[in-house]
Structure 1
Amino acid sequence: MLELQDLKDFSIHRWYEPFKHIALQTVLLELPEVVVDKLKSDDSDTDVAEVCPVEFMGALKNVINNLDNNAFVKNNWHAPMDAKMFSFGNELKVTNVNDLFLYLTTSNIIAEDFSSQQSSIPFYLALKPWKSIHPASEFRCIVINNVLRGITPRDWPTYYAHFKDEGPLIIDTLTNFFKENILGRFPRKHYIFDVIMSYPDQPSIVDFGPINSKTNLYAFSWREISPLINKDSPEEVAPIFRYLDSDIGIMTKADAIYKIANAFT
């Protein structure tokens, strides 16, 4: 579970507006208290839709309709990825309010967020246009002491042959994107941000998140990253883009890191 300050700093309703111009289009709807209470409870006798105020239900339907009945939903911090099994085609696509509430009520990820009981933080739904995104275009960027230190594919460990040739371009593009749009504008000095890169467009922000021992660092490990957090190193360094440089078959993340990890200093 996220700490209180993490809940505040990494809530999409806090960071979206300042980075709206470089983020995926998102519509934010604050959840009424009665809906939050229902989502926090284990009472299954009443459907979530039945407790929704008429105004909120109308606004929700209108947003989904404006997104062509093809939307992606998350709360302030997470998407209900563990509810994919309940979606058509395992895509987690929202076509109506029934889809949306099904994903929210069957997701343990969402339940954990709602169980935080932090009344000082309003709960939101974040709805985005549905996009079919190639997994090779998704990257996680690791920022330590306001320096971009690591770049990793989110689809790890999967081999993509073009990374070898395009690696320098990926590094340059994400480094410039970070310096021009994010550096000095995000309230933390250690964090991760996720992007989608679709040439020739500039990268688009998907999310921001904290760095801790529970963060999925994909091609990197917490054991590598942790010492850097405690080391004040504001000097300029080029980020490491770590990816599989050969097709070594199916393996675990630990096996992949063991095979290709270099010193990360």
Structure 2
Amino acid sequence: MKKEQVANCQFSVWYPLFKKHTIKSLILPLPQNVIDYLLDDGTLVVSGGTEHTQHSRNNNSDSEEEADVQWSDDETTTVVTAPEFPEFNLKVQEAINALGGRVFPKLNWSAPQDANWIALNSSLQCQSLSDIFLLFKSSDFITHDLTQPFRQCSDDSLDPIINYELVLRKWCELIPGGEFRCFVKENKLIGISQRDYTQHYQHISKQETSISFSIQQFFWEHIQHKFLNEDFVFDVYRDSTGHVWLIDFNPFGEVTDSLLFTWEELTSETSLTSSHTEECTALQDGPAFQYTTSDVTVQPSPCLSYRIPRDFLDLSTGEDAYKLIDFLKLKKGQQEEEESSEDEAEPPVPSV
């Protein structure tokens, strides 16, 4: 995987070439102060909300980036307020409105799919800049884009200059069972994998031949020899009518999830079309098609490792009052035990 190949997979590079075959999107340059805010690893304070913006302006007009300090008789309380970006916020909101009021956000390469646990309803659907910031500041995928996009590249040349951009895609209700990842080597489609391998979708095994053929036909007509790289990965969505839509491009390398394949299989000299296992069906003279064949072969989502325990989230948000009560009772019991232990450990006072 070369740095140039990774750079060619940026959204703003391929979108103009395949605009009519993918979801309508808008691209906004990312200001440096926004990048600095996203990379700030301090307290998570979300910026971008309209009401919060007005409140911050009224109460902190001298410096929008400094903390407010509130004084009381007994103690001093520091309230951290997020920096505001009024011009950028306005541009983002205009773009969101132009796309129907709901968008799917991403950067040059990645979407914050590892952070959907922190969003309402575990969805990446955003309606404001604050929704986007919450996901971006919670995502390791976004941090990778901003800090080390060429880390796994094999060449030692200078890193290409990257102009970071916020990509807003019109929100579409995609059924996970219709998403597929396709692997291309030397401009030849060598493999197709079910995108959401955490579920077993019966229609895939029943429609295996038609799904593979429609994806191959889409590749031959619209993708092959038109993308800038010879080796690459692209994601598609096949709707209920059999129509195929382009979703994204990714580098052909370990930085991209190989899903139900392994990168050893994909990069070996042996053609994938000659393999045949319980989970992988190779169609004659076509790419290997790999999918979850039954509930027994379902695998956990790789994004689970980025989540925090549900109980911890319920406690922190106060969504489950009973868990909070039990937690307070536990803490009180521990405190009483510690006090009791300290009293027993104190030496007796000698009599005079």
Structure 1 match to 2:133? 101
Structure 2 match to 1:58? 90
Superposition map of 1:59-138 within 5 A: 59-116=91-148, 120-138=161-179
Structure 2 match to 1:169? 210
Structure 1 match to 2:15? 16
Specify which of 187, 190, 202 is matched with residue 149 of structure 1.
Answer: 190
Structure 1 match to 2:254? 213
Deviation at 1:165, TM superposition (A): 2.5
SS in 2 for 1:72: strand
Deviation at 1:66, TM superposition (A): 2.5
Deviation at 1:207, TM superposition (A): 0.7
Deviation at 1:7, TM superposition (A): 3.8
Larger radius of gyration: 2
CA distance in 2, matches of 1:157, 1:39: 30
Deviation at 1:62, TM superposition (A): 0.7
Amino acid in the other structure paired with 2:102: N
Deviation at 1:9, TM superposition (A): 0.8
CA distance in 1, matches of 2:290, 2:160: 40
Deviation at 1:213, TM superposition (A): 2.9
Q: Is the 8 A contact 1:34 1:52 kept in 2?
A: no
Deviation at 1:248, TM superposition (A): 2.5
Deviation at 1:47, TM superposition (A): 6.0
Amino acid in the other structure paired with 2:26: V
Q: Is the 8 A contact 2:7 2:160 kept in 1?
A: no
**Higher RCO, 1 vs 2 (CA within 8 Å, ≥6 residues apart):** 1
CA distance in 2, matches of 1:244, 1:47: 39
Amino acid in the other structure paired with 1:148: L
Structure 2: segments with no counterpart, 5+ residues: 49-63, 65-82, 150-158, 272-283, 302-352
CA distance in 2, matches of 1:191, 1:179: 15
Given the two structures, how large is their TM-score scaled by the length of structure 2?
0.64
SS in 1 for 2:111: coil
Q: Is the 8 A contact 1:35 1:52 kept in 2?
A: no
Structure 1 match to 2:31? 32
Given the two structures, how large is their TM-score scaled by the length of structure 1?
0.83
Amino acid in the other structure paired with 1:86: I
Deviation at 1:42, TM superposition (A): 3.2
Confirm or deny that 1:180 pairs with 2:221: yes
Amino acid in the other structure paired with 2:222: N
SS in 1 for 2:16: coil
CA distance in 2, matches of 1:119, 1:52: 30
Structure 1 match to 2:304? none
CA distance in 2, matches of 1:108, 1:157: 21
Mark the CA change 1:164 to 1:122 in structure 2 (over 3 Å): closer, same or farther: same
Deviation at 1:151, TM superposition (A): 0.8
Q: Output the aligned Cα RMSD.
A: 2.7
Amino acid in the other structure paired with 1:239: P
SS in 1 for 2:260: coil
CA distance in 2, matches of 1:229, 1:186: 24
Mark the CA change 1:116 to 1:157 in structure 2 (over 3 Å): closer, same or farther: closer
Deviation at 1:48, TM superposition (A): 5.0
Q: Is the 8 A contact 1:197 1:203 kept in 2?
A: yes
Deviation at 1:252, TM superposition (A): 6.1
Q: Is the 8 A contact 2:211 2:242 kept in 1?
A: no
Confirm or deny that 1:224 pairs with 2:237: no
CA distance in 2, matches of 1:52, 1:185: 41
Structure 2 match to 1:245? 293
Structure 1: segments with no counterpart, 5+ residues: 231-235, 254-265
Deviation at 1:193, TM superposition (A): 0.3
Aligned length, in residue pairs: 247
Amino acid in the other structure paired with 2:3: L
Q: Is the 8 A contact 1:11 1:76 kept in 2?
A: yes
